[in-house]
Amino acid sequence: MSENSLALSIQGLGVSFFTEDGIARAVQDVSFSVKKGETFALVGESGCGKSVTALSIMRLIPQPPGKIVSGDIVFDNRSLLELSEKRMRGIRGNKIAMIFQEPMTSLNPVYTVGNQIVEAIRLHQKKSENQAWADAVDMLRKVGISEPEQRVNEYPHQMSGGMRQRVMIAMAVSCQPQLLIADEPTTALDVTIQAQILDLLDDLQKQNGMSILLITHDLAIVAERADNVAVMYASRIVEIAESKQLFQEPLHPYTKGLLKSLPRLGLGREVKRLQTISGTVPDPLHFPAGCKFHPRCSVGCSDKRCQGIEPELREVGNGRHVACWYAQGYETEEEIKEYESKYGKK
């Protein structure tokens, strides 16, 4: 894959938080790539490290207590981690933009919506005050807000949740970024509004050719909108695949569990109870040894290897990656032999 078709490439990223209760390794050895123009979803439960990963790309991790301890992030053929703060500021909001989960608190309550969009425009583009305001009105129109000339002078609290998120999006894409990071953009919104916002993101993507890194815990959104998916669990990536492939043929037990737990209509009398994954997500301060998922895994919870050795993320053919000893095509010949000599046939 040529480098020019990649918008973003994360390699071996590690982020830790040094708290008075101990070191929390929020992100460990995370690697994935986002192609130009595609929508890449990063999926996982709360606390798995996906938001931390996103904030690391923008280098917005609060420096004490957090710290990027390893790895690299390559954007536009440059390592983001090596850039000076000043250059990084030139990228934020300009080449890479981010929208957040809670539009109410993410917008400054004491400034008008227009003011905040204009701020972003004038920061990165050489435009006059009037031009910038005209652009702001334009952006509001583009994101589907009616009567933008009036709305531009309103305050965030005067708008509905869906409208505020549109404003956030307008602010984010005002400088035509190459990559948009959307951290749970629809979680705080009503279901009907969710679809509208996601459609909006789709449209903007087609217009500008921008890549979207979509962070979510909602698999339904992933199925509809994402091209490629990475599944995160307890600070690590456990599976990467094309969206369709992931849903048709999940390789990792966690992914399988997630898909099984989705409520589905119309299955008739066969399915009586929702399936769940037993146990709970581990505390980042006290991760289990070996594979982090093994205590909850139906396959590997009593396997000595799963208990002791953490499986790394490996490519298992045509772009698919997985981190599981029991995944098809994962082990090498030597490893199979070694295992059988130690523990007998599987």
Partner 1 sequence: MTTYIIRRLLYTIPIVLGVLLLTFVLFTVVGGDVSIEIAGKNATPETIEEIREEYGLNKPLFLSWDSQFINHFKSALTFDFGRARDRELVVDKIKRGVWPSLALTVPMFFGVLIISVSLALVVAFVRGSAWDVFAVVVCVAGMSIPYLSFILLGQYFFAYKLGLFPIFFSPDLSMAEYVALPVLIGIVTGLGANVRFYRTVMLDEIRSDYVRTAFAKGLDARRVLFKHVLKNAMIPIITRVVLAIPFLFLGSLLLERFFGIPGLGYLMIEAIGSRDYFVINAMTYISAILFVIFNVITDICYGLVDPRISFD
Partner 2 sequence: MIKRRLTNSEQPKGRSLWQDGLKRLGRRKLAMVCFAVIVLYFLLAGFIYFAELIDWQVGPIRWQEEVGGAYEGPSSQNKFGTDIFGQSVLRKTLYGAKISITVALCASFISIVIGVPLGTIAGYYRGVVDEIIVWVYSTLSSIPYILLILAFAVVLRDKTLFGFKLTGITSVYLAIGLTSWVGLCRLIRGEVIKHKEREYVLAAKSYGCSGARIIFRHLLPNVFHLIIIDFSLRFVAFIHAEVILSFLGLGEATRPSWGVMINDARIELSRGVWWQMVAATAAIFFISLALNIFGDALRDAIDPRLRKAA
Residues that bind partner 2 (CB under 8 A): 20-21, 47, 283-284
Per partner kind, with CB cut-offs from 5 to 8 A, the member of partner 1, partner 2, none near residue 168 is: partner 1
Tell the smallest beta-carbon distance from residue 46 to partner 2 (Å): 8
Please identify, using beta-carbon distances, which residue of 49 and 250 lies nearer to partner 2.
49
Out of partner 2, partner 1, none, what residue 157 binds, judged by CB under 5 to 8 A for its kind, is partner 1
Q: Which of 15, 229 has the CB closer to partner 1?
A: 15
Smallest CA-to-CA distance from 95 within 72, 75, 81 is with 75
Give kind and range of the element (H or E) at residue 229: strand 228-233
Residue 64: contacted member of partner 1, partner 2, none (CB under 5 to 8 Å, by partner type): partner 1
Nearer to partner 2, 52 or 139 (CB): 52
Question: Cβ 48 to partner 2, closest distance in Å?
Answer: 11
The answer to whether the peptide bond before residue 65 is cis (omega within 30 degrees of 0) is yes
Q: Which partner from the list partner 1, partner 2, none does 58 bind, CB cut-off 5 to 8 Å by kind?
A: partner 1
Q: Which does 83 bind (CB under 5 to 8 A by kind): partner 1, partner 2, none?
A: none
* Dihedral sign (CA 207, 211, 215, 218): positive
- Closest contact distance (angstroms) between CB of 72 and partner 1 is 21
Q: Pick one of partner 2, partner 1, none as the site partner of residue 47 (Cβ within 5 to 8 A by kind).
A: partner 2
Residue 238's SS3 state is strand
3-state secondary structure of 26: strand
State in angstroms the smallest separation of the CB of 326 from partner 2: 29
Q: Which does 185 bind (CB under 5 to 8 A by kind): partner 2, partner 1, none?
A: none
Do 137 and 112 contact (CB within 8 A), yes or no?
no
Distance CA 288, CA 282 (A): 7
Mapping DSSP to helix (H, G, I), strand (E, B) and coil, where does residue 242 land?
A: strand
Residue 284: name its binding partner from partner 1, partner 2, none (Cβ under 5 to 8 Å by kind): partner 2
d(CA 222, CA 212): 12
**Rounded to whole angstroms, how far apart are CA atoms 59 and 157?**
29
> What is the smallest separation between the CB atom of 102 and partner 2, expressed in angstroms?
13
Q: Smallest distance from the beta carbon of 118 to partner 1, in angstroms?
A: 11
Closest approach of Cβ 71 to partner 2, in Å? 23
Contact 33, 205 (CB under 8 A): no
Length of the chain: 346
Nearest to partner 1 of 55, 234 (CB atom): 55
Q: Is-contact 119 161, C-beta < 8 A?
A: no
Nearer to partner 1, 110 or 267 (CB): 110
Nearer to partner 2, 21 or 315 (CB): 21
Of 60 and 262, nearer to partner 2 (C-beta) is: 60
Q: 153 touches which of partner 2, partner 1, none (CB within 5 to 8 A by kind)? A: none
How many angstroms separate the CA atoms of 179 and 8, rounded?
A: 8
Binding site for partner 1 (CB under 8 A): 58, 60, 63-64, 89-94, 97-98, 100, 102, 105-111, 119-120, 123-124, 155, 157, 168, 171
User: Could you tell me the end-to-end alpha-carbon distance of the chain, in angstroms, rounded to an integer?
Assistant: 36
Sheet holding 22-35, edge to edge: 22-35, 6-19, 66-75, 78-79
Strand order through the sheet with 321-322: 96-99, 179-183, 211-216, 39-43, 228-233, 236-242, 321-322, 314-315
Residue 10's nearest CA partner among 49, 45, 44 is 49
Contact 178, 95 (CB under 8 A): yes
Kindly state the smallest distance separating residue 41's Cβ from partner 2, in Å: 23
Task: State the minimum distance, in angstroms, from the CB of residue 283 to partner 2.
Answer: 8
Give 20 or 270: the residue with its C-beta nearer to partner 2: 20
